[in-house]
Structures are given as structure tokens and as C-alpha cells.
Amino acid sequence: MKRRLAYLLSFLLVLTLTLSACGQKTTTTAGGADVIKIGWMGSLSGDQAVWGQCEFDTVKMLIEETNAKGGLLGKTLQVVGYDTKGDPQEAVNVAKRLTGEDKVVAILGPNASGSAIPIASVLEAAKVPDIATVATNPKVTVMDGKVKPYNFRVCFIDPYQGAVVAGYAIDILKAKNAAILYDVGDDYSQGLTQFFEEYFVKKGGKIVAKEGFKTGDVDFRPQLSKIKATNPDVIFMPYFFKEVALSANQARELDIKATLLGGDGWPSEQLISMAKAAVEGAYFANHLDFDDPEVQDFKARYKAKYNKDVELNGYLVHDAFLLLVDSINRAGAADSQKIRDALETASITGITGKINIGKDTHNPEGKDAAIIKIIDGKYVFQQKYAAE
Amino acid sequence: MNTYIEGILILAGINLMAVLGLSLLTGFTGLFSFGHAGFMAIGGYTSAMLSVKFNCPFIPAVLAGGLVASFFSMIIGKLTLNLKGDYFCIATLGFGEAIRLILDNVQYFGGARGWPGIPNSTNIWNVLAFNIIAVLFLANLIRSRHGRNLIAIREEELASQVIGINVFKHKMISLMISAAYAGIAGGLMAHYMTFLQPKMFSLVKSTELTIIVIFGGLGSISGSVLGALILTALPEFLRSVSQWRLVFYGLAVIFIMISRPEGLMGGYELTPSSLKKLLIRFKNRSQGKVKGLEGGNK
């Protein structure tokens, strides 16, 4: 028995050593004076893997393209990416690994606010800037009125998104009564609900029903029946496309005629294939217009390389990458501190719109949301809309 | 020290804290719990509340977290410890999930969006200090009368009742100490991450703790220590195989469980005296096997 234990332990030891050695080798041999290392983190496993995978693929593609054009500052770019599982604790580990072991100059991602918030102290200790992609929680960049020195992002924030949807519902759709169905166990859903409610009431509307469900639920009929009894003009559904498809189908089954509203968790090819008829005529706020001519080139390149459609995160990480490249160019050196300083004054035109980083917020200031309507199973751009 | 390695060690230490508690409950008392992440959450949120809202210093805040978790475990214990067999396990499972869902919806604590801005006070040294105290306390407890009673209950509940051990009381003591350990682990976690989100304390976390205890070996403190170190570090070592790392992690655990069902240490302890015995035996064997020397003491 002792011998078997010894075998086992040595086997484990050898396994971990070889694996870690492999990992070390790939990073050190490729690393050198002529390489600029960029970190990426996000969900490659777990329920947000679809988006994370698309982000990572986009970053890899953009880096290949940049290197083919001669790189940056005469050096080649290299990406080091790790999976966070969408878990805060993993995100902290990854941030420590990227800054401490791999010595990246800057980090792109993560997509989840819950992962972007706890890495702030790691970034501050290592003095490495990070550009989050779709982390919309205000506290990602600003905490208690103070801006976090090393956290940036390229997306709009939840209060803004909630206000846009509420404002659009009242001003353009002339809605008076709104019902909300939301996920009580999800941070994104809670945030949007809160800000939609605040703004809708402030604009003179009335919330007639607010029903919750739990992450993973597939039957929304009890909540929808209650909502139906209050006869709302619009139903706000601030959660992700899978649940949106299920709940929209069930709402139509129950003969609810109200217009459906949503946020940036909606856009996905999956939504249309799962609930084409149910989401017909629904509106949602998005980061960009998918049919914008500016976007087409990137969409085509991605499709040609991976034979898949770009998910929403791909567009935002594309702009995060542009922002970073611009800042490295202006900093004139692959130095984290200089890149951070350059990021603070960055102003570029990305495919999701103009990105002017605000010095006091580290958010892209004045970035308008795009209102999208679903017509015949297509995402049709309505207008750029900004809540005052 | 490299911050990355240091980070892993701190995490291993925090996990160890919770695992030691669970080891007492599962390994020495024979009660399975799938709700220890719930106790961690209670400890974490309590200590965070004390240090953020009431400016309480780090150590008292963490200890208070342990106390509050222990208090909650007393309520759970009163209700469920009289249940026989698997019912207790199911009850703890429900408790853990309930705690998480409640925290998801308490806006005072930030709800599901999480609670940022907790002071960063956990470092490798205070985690190490907590761990050493925890191990010493547990080792002494196991060797005390209470510890022997717990082991007796694990081995044969009915018989121990017959010889006059108050089974309910001892199970309760074990559960409360175990929850206090988990609560302290939660407090350390809160002050390491500087951020709390109910998602961090899901059922997955509870099962992870149970896996570590069983992996290390039921009824062995040194097994729990080894288990916590190995299973916290393993997924990080495996980062280089990216998406496959969790598969490898699972395979490693399955492999251990098949080849060594009693866990890494399986009831053995690594103490100075047991090490000496092992050394002597090893020496004897390599010196042409001196016969008779170790015949008596196995």
C-alpha cells in the first residue's frame, strides 16, 4: 500500500511538473526583447463560455493581423489568455498570474463585472492597466466617487442602459405601465432592473408588476400569469438570451400582447432560432448597430477565419484592442505605466462608436446606445438614443 | 515572493481553514455536509460588515465571523442533528443554497452584484498563523475526551449511546466548531478578495471542500492539509492546458479515489513520532531487513 501511494504521489508530481514546465516554456521562449505581451482573461468555461471564446478568438485574430502588418513599435504582439470560469476568485488568480508570472503590459477583459471588480487591487499593486469589455457595473471603474487608477472599459454602464430603455419606452413607445421580470440571482439582471425602475418612475411611468425568477429556471408561467393580470404596456426582460427565448415563448403562449424590452444580454443568433415569433417586434438596447457599414469588414474577417458569427463581446474586445494599440503607440513604449497614462487621454473611433475615455470615470463618455427592433427575425437598427 | 505563488498559498490556506472544520465534522464525526460554503458566506459577510461599516480591526472581525457562523450552525443543528442517516446531509445542502439566495437579494450587502471595497488585510502571514492555531487546536481536540467520543460516534453511533455518550451534544459541538472554522475561512476570503459575491459560495464550493476532505483522507488532519494544498494548486498548475485543465483536475481526483479509496493519508497522521517510525522502518528495510525489530509495533 505504501508503495502504491509512493507511485501515485510521484505520478502526480511528475504530471504537474511537466505540465507547468510546458506552460513555462511556451511563454519564456516566445518572450523576449522584441515581443509585447498582452494579457486576456474571460470565461472559456461555464455558462458564459460562448462570449469568452469569441473574445479570445477575436483578440488572437487581431494580433495576427497586427503582426502581419509589422507589429507595434517594431515589435511583435503576443497574447497570453486564461480562463476565469466567470468566477471572482479565479479572476484574481489569473490577474496575479498575468501580472506576476507572464509580465504582460496590459490586460484585455474580463467580460463579467463580478470578475472585473476584485482584480482592481491586483492591478494597482502590479501597476498594469486593464480594459474591461462588457463589464457594465459602475463600480468596475469608480468606487465611492474615486476612480480606480488601472481599470478602464469600452462599454456603457448599467445606469445608462437602464435609463435608455426606460426613456425610450416612455418617450418613443409611449408606454405608461411597465412590468419587470428579472433574475434574482444574477448581478447583471439586478443592476439593470434597479436602474430601469428608478428612471421609469422618475419619467412618470408606473411599474405595475415586478416578478423574479432564479438562475436556471425554465418555467416562467406563474410569474407571467401574474404579470398578465396587471395588463402592462411593456415587459422589461433584463437577462440573457436563453431565458429571454423561453420566457418570451411562454408569454406569447399565455396570450400576453405587451411589447418586450431588453438589454445587451439579448443579441445572439440563438435568440432568433429559439423564439423567432415570440420576440417579433421587441426592442432592446445594444452597444452597436450590427448592420452599420463600419462593422461589416470585421464581421466578414471573423467569419472567414472561424466560420462562426461574431457574438456581441467580439465587437467590444475589438474596440478594447484598438484602444490599447492606440495608447501603446502614443505612449511610445511598451511600458505599463505609460500605457495607463495614455489610456486616460485616449480618444479613438472604434466599430462600436466614438470612445473618449473620461479622466475621472475611465468610461467611454457620451457613447450612445443603439436601439434595435426585431423584425422578421432580423436585428433592425432603429436609432441612436441617449438618455438625458 | 512572487505575488502569484503567494496568492495561491493564501488561497490554499483559506481553503485549508474551511477544510479543517469540515474534516472534524466529516472525517472524525461521520456527518457529511454540503452546506459549508453557506457557513463561509455567513462568516465572510459578517466580518466584511464589521470592518467596512463599523471600522472593526481585522482579527476581531474575522473571529466574529466565525462566531456568527457557529451560531447559525447551532440553529441548524438543533433542527436537524436528530435526523438519521442522509437527512442531515440534505438539510445542509438546502441550508447552503438558501443562504446564497438570501444574500443574492439583501441589497444592504450589495445583493447579487457583489460587495466591493473590503479592506485588503489578509496576507500570507496571518493566514499561516490562523492555520497553525487551527491545526494545533484540532489535533488537541481529537486527542481529548471529546475527540474520542466523536470518533466513537463515527464508528458506531448506537454503541456509543449505550456506553453513555450524549450523541446529540457531541454532534452539536462538532458542527459548531466546524462552522466556526468555515466562518473564519470566509472572513479571511473576504479580506483577501476585497470583494464578496454570493456566487462565490455556491454548491460547487461546498462540494469542493468535501472533495478535499475525502481526497486527503477521512479522519486525518495531515491528509486535509495535503489535500487543501494539492487541490488548490493543481488547477493553477494546469493553466497551461487551458480549457482541458478542469478535465485533468477531475481525472486526478478520480484516479486517486480509485487507486486509494481511503484518500491520500487515509487515517494516518504525519506527526514527528510517526515520521520517525516510518524512517526507522525504511532504514531497516534498506539495511537488509533486520528481522524482528518491528514485528510487534506494526
pLDDT in tens, chain A (388 residues): 556 655 665 565 555 555 554 444 344 434 456 899 999 999 888 778 888 899 999 999 999 999 999 888 989 999 999 998 888 999 999 999 999 889 999 999 898 888 999 999 899 999 999 999 988 888 899 988 889 999 999 998 888 899 899 999 999 999 999 999 999 888 889 889 999 999 999 999 999 999 999 888 899 999 999 999 999 999 999 999 889 999 999 999 999 999 999 998 898 878 898 998 999 999 999 998 888 888 899 999 999 999 988 888 999 999 999 999 999 999 988 899 999 999 999 998 888 888 889 989 999 887 888 899 999 988 999 888 877 6
Predicted local distance difference test score (pLDDT) of residue A321: 94
Strands (E), chain A: 35-42, 76-83, 106-108, 130-132, 142-143, 146-147, 151-153, 177-183, 206-213, 234-237, 259-262, 283-286, 347-350, 353-356, 369-375, 378-385
A172 shares a domain with A53: no
Give the C-alpha separation, A37 to A277, whole Å. Answer: 46
A119 shares a domain with A102: yes
Predicted local distance difference test score (pLDDT) of residue A185: 81
Mean pLDDT computed over B82-87: 79
- Please determine, for residue B15, whether its predicted confidence score (pLDDT) is greater than 90: yes
Give the C-alpha separation, B10 to B129, whole Å. Answer: 11
Contact B116 A143 (CB under 8 A): yes
For residue A67, being part of any structural domain is answered with: yes
- Please enumerate in sequence order all residues whose Cβ is within 8 A of that of B144, keeping only pairs 6 or more positions apart, or say none: none
Contact residues on chain B for A97, CB-CB shorter than 8 A: 4, 236, 239
Pairing state between β B195-196 and B115-116: antiparallel
Predicted local distance difference test score (pLDDT) of residue A342: 93
Distances (CA, A) of B26 to A46, B32, B219: 29, 5, 8
A374 shares a domain with A252: yes
Selected residue of B192, B197, B262, B268 to mutate for chain A interface (largest A Cβ count, 10 A): B197
In this structure, are residues A150 and A178 in contact, taking their beta carbons and an 8 Å threshold? no
In this structure, are residues A380 and A372 in contact, taking their beta carbons and an 8 Å threshold? yes
Give the C-alpha separation, B296 to B298, whole Å. Answer: 6
Closest CA to B47 of B184, B176, B206, B200: B184
Contact residues on chain B for A87, CB-CB shorter than 8 A: 199-200
Predicted local distance difference test score (pLDDT) of residue A16: 56
Predicted local distance difference test score (pLDDT) of residue A23: 46
Contact residues on chain B for A20, CB-CB shorter than 8 A: 237, 240
In this structure, are residues A351 and A298 in contact, taking their beta carbons and an 8 Å threshold? yes
A182 shares a domain with A318: no
Q: What is the tally of structural domains in chain A?
A: 2
To the nearest whole percent, how much of chain B has pLDDT over 70? 95
Could you check whether the bond before residue A364 is cis, i.e. omega within 30 degrees of 0?
no
Selected residue of A12, A187, A192, A239 to mutate for chain B interface (largest B Cβ count, 10 A): A187
In this structure, are residues A230 and A208 in contact, taking their beta carbons and an 8 Å threshold? yes
A315 shares a domain with A282: no
Mean pLDDT computed over B118-126: 92
In this structure, are residues B92 and B37 in contact, taking their beta carbons and an 8 Å threshold? no
Predicted local distance difference test score (pLDDT) of residue A13: 56
Task: Assign residue A108 the CATH number of its domain.
Answer: 3.40.50.2300
Predicted local distance difference test score (pLDDT) of residue B234: 87
Mean pLDDT computed over B213-228: 91
Contact residues on chain A for B281, CB-CB shorter than 8 A: none
Cell matching residue A313: 463581446
For residue A265, being part of any structural domain is answered with: yes
For residue A324, being part of any structural domain is answered with: yes
A217 shares a domain with A127: no
For residue A26, being part of any structural domain is answered with: no
Cell matching residue A368: 450612445
Hey, what amino acid is at B175? L
Contact B236 A93 (CB under 8 A): yes
In this structure, are residues A199 and A162 in contact, taking their beta carbons and an 8 Å threshold? yes
| pLDDT tens by residue, B133-182 | 999 999 999 999 999 999 999 999 889 999 999 999 999 999 999 999 99
A117 shares a domain with A45: yes
For residue A194, being part of any structural domain is answered with: yes
- Please determine, for residue B184, whether its predicted confidence score (pLDDT) is greater than 80: yes
Q: Pick from A5, A97, A99: which is nearest to B260 by CB?
A: A5
Give the C-alpha separation, B41 to B102, whole Å. Answer: 11
Q: Pick from B4, B101, B114: which is nearest to A97 by CB?
A: B4
For residue A165, being part of any structural domain is answered with: yes
A87 shares a domain with A205: no
Distances (CA, A) of A283 to A167, A273, B117, B200: 13, 17, 36, 33
Predicted local distance difference test score (pLDDT) of residue A30: 44
Predicted local distance difference test score (pLDDT) of residue B298: 39
A274 shares a domain with A194: yes
A175 shares a domain with A251: yes
Tell me the nearest-neighbour CA distance from A41 into chain B, angstroms: 11
Contact residues on chain A for B284, CB-CB shorter than 8 A: none
A379 shares a domain with A233: yes
- Please determine, for residue B260, whether its predicted confidence score (pLDDT) is greater than 90: no
Tell me the nearest-neighbour CA distance from B32 into chain A, angstroms: 25
Predicted local distance difference test score (pLDDT) of residue A188: 87
Q: Which residues form the domain of A54?
A: 35-156+293-357
For residue A108, being part of any structural domain is answered with: yes
Average pLDDT over chain B reads 88
Give the C-alpha separation, A192 to A170, whole Å. Answer: 17
Mean pLDDT computed over B180-199: 94
A196 shares a domain with A96: no
- What is the number of residues in chain A? 388
Tell me the nearest-neighbour CA distance from A148 into chain B, angstroms: 11
Hey, what amino acid is at B199? K
For residue A7, being part of any structural domain is answered with: no
